[in-house]
Amino acid sequence: MARGSDISAFASSQLLLLDAELQAELTETQLLTSSHAPAILQRAGLALLNLTLSSQRTGFGGKSLLELSLDPAVGVGDLPEHGLRVGDICAVAEQPKGAERKKERASIEKRAVEGVVTKVQKQAVTVALDKEEVEVPNGKLWLIKLANDVTYKRLSQTMSKLEKMQPSEHSILTQVLFGKSSPTSLSDAEIQKDLEWHDKTMNDSQKEAVRFALASRDVALIHGPPGTGKTHTLIELILQFLDRGQRALVCGPSNISVDNIVERLTSHKVSMVRLGHPARLLPSVLDHSLDVLSKTSDAASIVTDIRAEMDVKQSSIRKTRNGRERRAIYGELKELRKEYRQREGRVVSDLLKQSRVVLSTLHGAGGFHLRDEKFDVVIIDEASQALEAQCWIPVLATGTSKLVLAGDHLQLPPTIKSLNSQASTPIKVADGSNGTNNDMSRSSVDDDSATVGQKKIKDDDATLETTLFDRLLKLHGSSIKRMLTIQYRMHEKIMAFPSVALYEKKLIAADSVKDRLLKDLPYGVHDTDDTREPLVFWDTQGGDYPEKTEEDDIGVKGRSGLLAESKVNENEAAVVRLHVQRLVEGGTKPEDIAVVTPYNGQLALLSGLLKDRFPGLELGSVDGFQGREKEAVIVSLVRSNSDREVGFLSEKRRLNVAMTRPKRHLCVVGDSETVGKGSKFLRSWMQHLEEHADLRYPDQAEVLEDV
């Protein structure tokens, strides 16, 4: 049977995995919302209480926007701390009284309206409603975060499309992506004849990567280790495509990854448009937003008039005296909305047609805007942070014949919630102190069995964690990629270990960074034992630095959930404090220092210890710090126990991220005795630190002084 092709089989298995992932997310959210009082949900960042509707108006696409602020009966001013973010799916409902029984609460929630958070301000949150002409509940309201099934719906639609395709419908690109054809390329002569660099500072490995991607007829990978100018290279590549009269769709898994490219393209005066809701875009890229452009162009003025009319009609609903009047207004609104959509649609499609570069998230590429658009190439940045199914969204939506993926498969892959059955160690989700759940949310792979990337990929072990980038490397080998080798971030001594252990000794520190130290910072840092050292290791082995397991604050232990257990190490945190203090006393500004740790429990502990004392200091989880850099980075490893348990420290991609964030100073704090027994990789890292770092053994009395 034609549908039984292995491409279909692959898509079917992705569908199953995606469904498991959705179920994991739904279960997690449902478990929490059904079993806890609203106040606890607010503390956990899942709800926002005591709200009132402060305004209702019409937004892009004719959607109703509800602005919710604090109920004046409860207080005025800023909203309390909450975990709601732009893009979150949520419900707006009448707020249940604390003691309301579950059944009553369920009926209130039935009357809830659902939508997407489009704006988060200090005093208000705006929600765009999913359905038109719904009645907004009365009285005191609350906002509840819902599991985001929109993402999964689009992913499964995409995979279903792939599943249903007949082999005859598979494009050459699809065949190459599944190894049914080999990648092919134009000859060097065809590419090089008119190649002139826009950026004269491009290094040889970057030039080679651009040449390679231009020459490819189907798929090319650009492997960009930390700080090697991956985005820099993509900008040159986009300009080269434009020089050749080609049209590009540029995507990334997150809004920030896309905005980063828009920002850098701006100075090149490229005709481009950024898709996506403006509330989710960086202010600096709004001038290129399709939404903003479609409102400011000449043709847009009539659309704006219709919108104003709709807003007037919408607010007149409140003044109606009976259902008949209300129905009449809803009827008129429906007509207006139709006209609005048609006119807006025309303005938008004209703008799109004129753009040579279109930029959107991978998810956004599946929207109706790109339905009839054709592109010569689809470029995906941060491809190793995207699920494979996500990468198929722009590929199938546009029917492109060429794909360029840029990423680093040796840094962390996308976060997966349903790994419980796939991980080699049990899953524990963190205490969510920073609103993200990092501990164990990615699988801990067998460290010593790596073949491709750091993950052993057996033919039959399809997991969501295997990205398209990983899979293509396995399928076609390294001839399908070009690696960028000059890094512009780290001091040579900081770069040495990741280069040898992960990047085949190929990394080279650019002259401008290879011997930069904290003491050379341009604002006058003293020359001290710490500021002249690029690599420091505080080894706590043999001391009294026990790790502890922290229980969550709603008393449920050992459960995989938002507030479940995490690890902390109090005495190690005190060593971190001592080191931060020394750096600051040496003249390093706290805003040039970051403290990162893999465990959210430790992060919460460190925040309490350091935030007020060193304003400006940045604290983060390792996972949350991917893609970032700082002058000085202190890594707190936490694990210290007699069983030599290292948990998810054994994931070398996580450690790679941690150790490649700093520019001038890396300080590692940990117990070499525990950590060094964790895996071959950890053992060699500990050995490297012992041989090459400035070794320190903390004096307990000094460390614990005034903690």
Ligand X SMILES: Nc1ncnc2c1ncn2[C@@H]1O[C@H](COP(=O)(O)OP(=O)(O)OP(=O)(O)O)[C@@H](O)[C@H]1O
Cβ proximity to ligand X: between 109 and 208 the closer is 208
- Residue 109 phi, psi (nearest 5): -65, -25
Cβ proximity to ligand X: between 268 and 313 the closer is 268
In sequence order, what are the residues at sequence separation of 6 or more whose Cβ sits closer than 8 angstroms to the Cβ of residue 620? Answer: 434, 594, 595, 596, 603, 628
Cβ proximity to ligand X: between 24 and 486 the closer is 486
Q: DSSP string spanning 483-503?
A: E--EESSS-HHHHHHHHHHHS
Report the Cα–Cα distance between both ends of the chain, in Å, rounded: 70
Instruction: Give me 471's structure tokens.
Output: 């899979």
Cβ proximity to ligand X: between 158 and 660 the closer is 660
Q: Of 448, 382, 59, give the one whose Cα is nearest residue 250.
A: 382
Cβ proximity to ligand X: between 67 and 381 the closer is 381
- Minimum gap (Å) between residue 488 Cβ and ligand X: 3
- Minimum gap (Å) between residue 243 Cβ and ligand X: 19
- Minimum gap (Å) between residue 235 Cβ and ligand X: 8
- Minimum gap (Å) between residue 201 Cβ and ligand X: 4
Distance CA 288, CA 364 (A): 15
Distance CA 382, CA 230 (A): 9
Residues in touch with ligand X (CB under 6 A): 201-203, 206, 224, 226-232, 488, 627
The beta strand positions in 10-148, using DSSP E, are 47-58, 64-70, 89-94, 113-120, 124-129, 141-145
Task: Provide the β-strand partners of residue 595.
Answer: 619, 634
- Minimum gap (Å) between residue 203 Cβ and ligand X: 5
User: With contact defined as beta carbons under 8 Å apart, do 631 and 592 qualify?
Assistant: yes
- Minimum gap (Å) between residue 627 Cβ and ligand X: 5
Cβ proximity to ligand X: between 226 and 601 the closer is 226
Residue 685: CB atoms within 10 A of its CB come to 24
- Minimum gap (Å) between residue 509 Cβ and ligand X: 11
> Would you give the distance in Å from CA 125 to the centre of its chain?
22
- Minimum gap (Å) between residue 234 Cβ and ligand X: 8
Distances (CA, A) of 77 to 66, 68, 158, 224: 18, 12, 44, 46
Cβ proximity to ligand X: between 129 and 473 the closer is 473
User: With contact defined as beta carbons under 8 Å apart, do 578 and 613 qualify?
Assistant: no
Distance CA 608, CA 602 (A): 10
- Minimum gap (Å) between residue 516 Cβ and ligand X: 13
In sequence order, what are the residues at sequence separation of 6 or more whose Cβ sits closer than 8 angstroms to the Cβ of residue 690? Answer: 537, 539, 672
Cβ proximity to ligand X: between 137 and 252 the closer is 252
- Minimum gap (Å) between residue 647 Cβ and ligand X: 26
Q: Which helix (H) or strand (E) holds 694?
A: strand 694-696
User: With contact defined as beta carbons under 8 Å apart, do 480 and 221 qualify?
Assistant: yes
Distance CA 112, CA 110 (A): 5
Distance CA 76, CA 415 (A): 38
Cβ proximity to ligand X: between 38 and 224 the closer is 224
Distance CA 673, CA 542 (A): 8
Pure H helices in 229-287: 230-243, 255-266
Cβ proximity to ligand X: between 199 and 551 the closer is 199
In sequence order, what are the residues at sequence separation of 6 or more whose Cβ sits closer than 8 angstroms to the Cβ of residue 530? Answer: 518, 536, 579, 582, 583, 586, 665
Cβ proximity to ligand X: between 103 and 200 the closer is 200
- Minimum gap (Å) between residue 406 Cβ and ligand X: 8
Q: Which residue has its beta carbon closest to ligand X?
A: 229
Which is it for strands 272-274 and 357-361: parallel, antiparallel or unpaired? parallel
- Residue 397 phi, psi (nearest 5): -65, -35
Cβ proximity to ligand X: between 183 and 407 the closer is 407
Distances (CA, A) of 336 to 136, 339, 341, 350: 20, 5, 9, 21
Task: Provide the β-strand partners of residue 612.
Answer: none
- Minimum gap (Å) between residue 700 Cβ and ligand X: 37
- Minimum gap (Å) between residue 233 Cβ and ligand X: 7
Instruction: Give me 279's structure tokens.
Output: 């509330």
Which is it for strands 219-223 and 141-145: parallel, antiparallel or unpaired? unpaired
- Minimum gap (Å) between residue 425 Cβ and ligand X: 28
User: With contact defined as beta carbons under 8 Å apart, do 215 and 183 qualify?
Assistant: no
- Minimum gap (Å) between residue 434 Cβ and ligand X: 20
Cβ proximity to ligand X: between 587 and 627 the closer is 627
Cβ proximity to ligand X: between 141 and 235 the closer is 235
Which is it for strands 508-509 and 486-487: parallel, antiparallel or unpaired? parallel
Which is it for strands 593-597 and 630-636: parallel, antiparallel or unpaired? parallel
Distance CA 13, CA 341 (A): 38
Distance CA 27, CA 623 (A): 23
- Minimum gap (Å) between residue 625 Cβ and ligand X: 10
Cβ proximity to ligand X: between 348 and 494 the closer is 494
- Minimum gap (Å) between residue 391 Cβ and ligand X: 18
Cβ proximity to ligand X: between 237 and 473 the closer is 237
- Minimum gap (Å) between residue 410 Cβ and ligand X: 12
Distance CA 65, CA 306 (A): 16
Cβ proximity to ligand X: between 660 and 674 the closer is 660
Distance CA 681, CA 502 (A): 10
Q: Which amino acid is residue 278, in one-letter code? A: P
Cβ proximity to ligand X: between 177 and 262 the closer is 262
